[in-house]
């Protein structure tokens, strides 16, 4: 009997693996994969100030090349469960759709690549030509500290090598087969702090209003960062909060702050970007504004997987199954692909993302079988 992605997805949705809880999801997957002949490992990672997180690595075959499928079983909270038409952790089927938290992001995607791998192994009598591995974390939706980044390192230390990776995040925009994500922008958070001199609003000559300096610098920082690149849209700096904290009407405050986030493309490194921003502030301040920057540490660097044979293979598999030629995109937020790219080329392809993180998150049953067929085709072509 072929492995059924809908059954696997329903079982996974029924596990309450709200980040960072394991909720039984990895244990279920591990059982399924072990039964099919995978060698499986669990690894719990922890560090001070974060929750300990459970992770799973499974491999079938010992030979090269090793094709990796990656994903996460943790999900964002359901919010108000009463506002769902179908309970978020029941895995109910209705109107041709599978409902539940994680249906598209990304228990559905995991179910599809697990089903495809099981089906391929079945067809090869349990002896793949090369190896198929699954790397599944429970820490993607939260801080992403005790998940993929550490599991990859753990695997490397245990002699595991990966040749190519498909991350099953919901990459498609409107319809299954429309988009592969082939890179992600970097993300950097900073705070601009302007210091003035507090005083009475009626005697501005005795004070120094930091809000004036802050707005001057903010305007300077709003200038374009670049014009985009071959694979990316222009970088963008967005202010997210302006904070003075002054509740008094006749007081000139002593300090003003503005927080911002930068989504940056491959024209910048984090270091170069910080230098660029600091230089712009310096020029705008012209020696008259006292200011400082605080930069938050970021593990979200920009990366791009340049087109090549693996990308061509994935595009061809998608086209053969759906009749659509996917576009390569680098838009959207960050994902665990930013860690995988340090080990092997990675593409992201999964379900249609429209209902992710929403009430009534759901995936059409038809999409689950189509995505499984695409992954199956990718595996077939990969091992030729």
Our CB check for Zn ion shows the closer of 11 and 169 to be 169
Contact string (CB under 5 A) for Zn ion, positions 169-198, x = contact: x-----------------------------
Residue nearest to Zn ion (CB): 105
| Piece of 5-13, 29-37, 98-106, 249-257 that binds Zn ion (CB under 5 A) | 98-106
Q: Contacts with Zn ion in 153-172 (CB under 5 A)? A: 169
Part in contact with Zn ion (CB under 5 A); list of ranges 32-40, 42-50, 97-105, 150-158? 97-105
Contact predicate 114/134, CB 8 Å: yes
Residue 160 vs 169, nearer CB to Zn ion? 169
Which residue, 169 or 301, is less far from Zn ion as judged by CB?
A: 169
What's the DSSP call for residue 359? T
Q: Among residues 139 and 169, whose Cβ is nearest to Zn ion?
A: 169
Cβ 65 to Zn ion shortest distance, Å: 26
State how far Cα 21 lies from the chain centre. 18
Residue 106 near Zn ion by CB under 5 A: yes
Which residue's CB is nearer to Zn ion, number 106 or number 351? Answer: 106
Interface stretch with Zn ion, choices 86-94, 106-114, 264-272, 306-314 (CB under 5 A): 106-114
Q: Among the candidate windows 4-12, 105-113, 210-218, 301-309, which touches Zn ion by CB under 5 A?
A: 105-113
CB of 318 to Zn ion, least distance (A): 19
Please tell me whether residue 39 adopts helix, strand or coil conformation.
strand
Stretch that binds Zn ion, among 100-108, 194-202, 310-318, 320-328 (CB under 5 A): 100-108
Closest listed residue to residue 192, CA positions, set 292, 273, 298: 292
Query: Cα dihedral sign for 336, 338, 339, 345?
Result: positive
- Of the candidate spans 79-87, 102-110, 142-150, 219-227, the one that interacts with Zn ion by CB under 5 A turns out to be 102-110
Q: Which is nearer to Zn ion, 113 or 120 (CB)?
A: 113
Q: Minimal CA–CA distance to 327: which of 229, 231, 187? A: 231
Quote the least distance from Cβ 106 to Zn ion, whole Å.
5
Q: How many residues bind Zn ion (CB under 5 A)?
A: 3
Q: What are the distances in angstroms from CA 282 to CA 204, 213, 276?
A: 24, 12, 10
Closest distance of CB 251 from Zn ion, Å: 46
Shortest reach from residue 169's CB to Zn ion, in Å: 5
Alpha-carbon dihedral sign for residues 50, 46, 335, 23: negative
According to the binding rule CB under 5 A, does residue 75 interact with Zn ion? no
Residues identified as active-site = 74, 140
Distance CA 323, CA 380 (A): 18
Binding status of residue 378 toward Zn ion by CB under 5 A = no
Return the number of the residue (70 or 194) whose C-beta is nearest Zn ion. Answer: 70
The residues facing 252 across adjacent strands are 199
Nearest to 218 by CA among 203, 237, 204, 236: 237
Work out the end-to-end distance of the chain between its first and last CA atoms, rounded to an integer number of angstroms.
Answer: 24
- Name the minimum Å distance from CB 105 to Zn ion: 4
Distances (CA, A) of 197 to 210, 290, 309, 368: 7, 10, 61, 62
- Compare residues 119 and 169 and give the one whose CB is closer to Zn ion: 169
105 touching Zn ion, by CB under 5 A: yes
Contact map string, positions 315 to 334, toward Zn ion, x by CB under 5 A: --------------------
Verify binding: residue 336, Zn ion, rule CB under 5 A.
no
**CA-closest candidate to residue 102, choices 116, 84, 115, 125:** 84
CB of 26 to Zn ion, least distance (A): 15
Beta strands of the chain (E only): which ranges?
39-45, 53-60, 66-72, 93-94, 97-99, 131-137, 164-167, 179-181, 183-184, 186-195, 199-200, 236-243, 251-252, 255-264, 290-295, 303-304, 327-329, 346-348, 362-364
Provide, rounded to whole angstroms, the least separation between the CB of residue 335 and Zn ion.
7
- Please report the DSSP string for 45-110 in residue order: E--TTS--EEEEEEEE-SSSPEEEEEEE--B-----GGG-SS-TTT--EETTEEESTTTTTTHHHH
Instruction: Count the Cβ atoms, other than its own, within 10 Å of residue 161.
Output: 14
User: Which residues contact Zn ion by CB under 5 A?
Assistant: 105-106, 169
């Amino acid at each position: 009997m072929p492995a059924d992605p809908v059954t696997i997805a329903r079982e996974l949705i029924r596990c309450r693996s709200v980040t960072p809880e394991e909720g039984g999801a990895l244990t279920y997957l591990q059982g399924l994969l072990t039964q099919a002949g995978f060698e499986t490992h669990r690894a719990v990672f922890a560090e001070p100030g974060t929750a300990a997180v459970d992770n799973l690595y499974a491999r079938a075959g010992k030979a090269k090349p090793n094709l990796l499928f990656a994903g996460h079983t943790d999900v964002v909270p359901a919010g108000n469960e009463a506002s769902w038409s179908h309970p978020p952790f029941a895995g109910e089927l209705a109107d041709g759709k599978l409902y539940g938290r994680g249906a598209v992001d990304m228990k559905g995607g995991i179910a599809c690549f697990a089903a495809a791998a099981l089906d391929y192994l079945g067809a090869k009598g349990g002896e793949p030509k090369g190896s198929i591995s699954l790397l599944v974390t429970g820490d993607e939706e939260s801080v992403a500290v005790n998940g993929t980044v550490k599991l990859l390192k753990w695997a490397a230390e245990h002699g595991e090598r990966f040749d190519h990776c498909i991350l099953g995040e919901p990459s498609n925009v409107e319809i299954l087969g429309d988009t592969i994500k082939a890179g992600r922008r970097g993300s950097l958070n900073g705070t601009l702090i302007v210091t003035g001199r507090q005083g009475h609003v009626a005697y501005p000559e005795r004070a120094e209003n930091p809000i004036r300096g802050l707005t001057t610098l903010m305007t300077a920082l709003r200038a374009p960062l670049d014009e985009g690149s071959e694979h990316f849209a222009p970088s963008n700096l967005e202010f997210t909060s302006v904070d003075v904290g002054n509740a008094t009407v006749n007081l000139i405050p002593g300090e003003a702050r503005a927080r911002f986030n930068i989504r940056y493309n491959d024209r910048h490194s984090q270091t170069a970007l910080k230098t660029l921003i600091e230089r712009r502030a310096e020029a705008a301040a012209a020696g008259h504004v006292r200011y400082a920057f605080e930069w938050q540490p970021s593990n979200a660097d920009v990366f791009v997987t340049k087109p090549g044979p693996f990308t061509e293979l994935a595009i061809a598999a998608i086209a053969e199954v759906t009749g659509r030629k996917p576009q390569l995109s680098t838009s959207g937020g960050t994902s665990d692909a930013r860690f995988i790219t340090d080990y092997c080329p990675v593409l992201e392809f999964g379900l249609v993302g429209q209902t992710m993180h929403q009430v009534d998150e759901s995936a059409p049953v038809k999409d689950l079988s189509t995505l499984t067929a695409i992954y199956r085709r990718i595996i077939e072509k990969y091992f030729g």
